[in-house]
Chains A and B, each alone.
Chain A
Amino acid sequence: DGGITQSPKYLFRKEGQNVTLSCEQNLNHDAMYWYRQDPGQGLRLIYYSQIVNDFQKGDIAEGYSVSREKKESFPLTVTSAQKNPTAFYLCASTPFGFNQPQHFGDGTRLSIL
């Protein structure tokens, strides 16, 4: 079955450490997205990518970085510059075209030790 795989499901970070969250999709979707979810705040867009080797900042990109070297993969790095990284991170993808809904992975929960 096609889908979006996020790993790991739970991740712990020490102060001053960078961590990378994985997102892989086998849906042959063109666009991929990273969202951050905090209690009571809904989902906020971190980065998105419409095609390979191209990506744009979303609303809360500071302290995060991404790459899009392959169509299937869109890893997110939470850098030490992100001072409040504890959150639930969701990856999504969508095929090319208007009015296409996004498909989501099961998320990664990041916590600070």
Chain B
Amino acid sequence: GDSVTQMEGPVTLSEEAFLTINCTYTATGYPSLFWYVQYPGEGLQLLLKATKADDKGSNKGFEATYRKETTSFHLEKGSVQVSDSAVYFCALLNSGGGADGLTFGKGTHLIIQP
């Protein structure tokens, strides 16, 4: 079945540092890929998405490129802020229609220190 693997957390960085959160996937066909962010006590918010190979999703300074050859969708940001502290989830939607919803990674807790 489909699966998503994210780097284990927590990840602790200083403000203005460069961020990479690794995400790799296993899926049949050609899935769409997503990054969601969850702030404490809240639901998930869509951060960015990519629907086909070599697509780059971007939002709020975050970027991720759909790499089919390495089955990866790593999240990057050039300069993080304290307000970026949250849990980040990588997810895929199977090309078969995804009627049964997204497949999520376990989440990566990001802590940004001033």
A residues at B contact (CB < 8 Å): 4, 6, 31, 33, 35, 40-43, 45, 48, 50, 56, 58, 90, 92, 98-107
Contact = CB atoms under 8 A, between A and B. Distances in A.
Instruction: Categorize the interface residue count of chain B.
Output: 20 to 34
Interface stretch (B11-19, B74-82, B101-109): B101-109
Contacts of B44: 43, 90, 92, 102, 104
Contact of B99 (A6, A31, A92, A99): A31
Counting from the closest, the 9 A-B pairs by CB-CB distance are: A104-B43, A42-B106, A104-B44, A99-B32, A43-B104, A42-B104, A106-B43, A101-B46, A99-B51
A56 B43 CA distance: 23
B100 interface: yes
30 contacts: A4-B43, A31-B99, A33-B101, A40-B107, A41-B106, A42-B104, A42-B106, A42-B107, A43-B44, A43-B89, A43-B102, A45-B100, A45-B101, A48-B101, A58-B100, A58-B101, A90-B43, A90-B44, A92-B44, A92-B101, A98-B98, A99-B32, A99-B49, A99-B51, A99-B98, A101-B93, A102-B46, A105-B43, A106-B42, A107-B42
B36 to A, nearest CB: 8
A98 B92 CA distance: 12
A35 B102 CA distance: 10
B62 to A, nearest CB: 15
Q: Which of A56, A98, A99, A104 has the most CB of B within 10 A?
A: A99
State the majority secondary structure of interface residues on A: strand
B26 interface: no
A104 B99 contact: no
A105 B42 CA distance: 8
Given A42-B106, A104-B45, 8 more contacts: A31-B99, A43-B104, A58-B101, A98-B98, A101-B46, A102-B101, A106-B41, A107-B41
Interface string B38-78: 00011111100101000000000000000000000000000
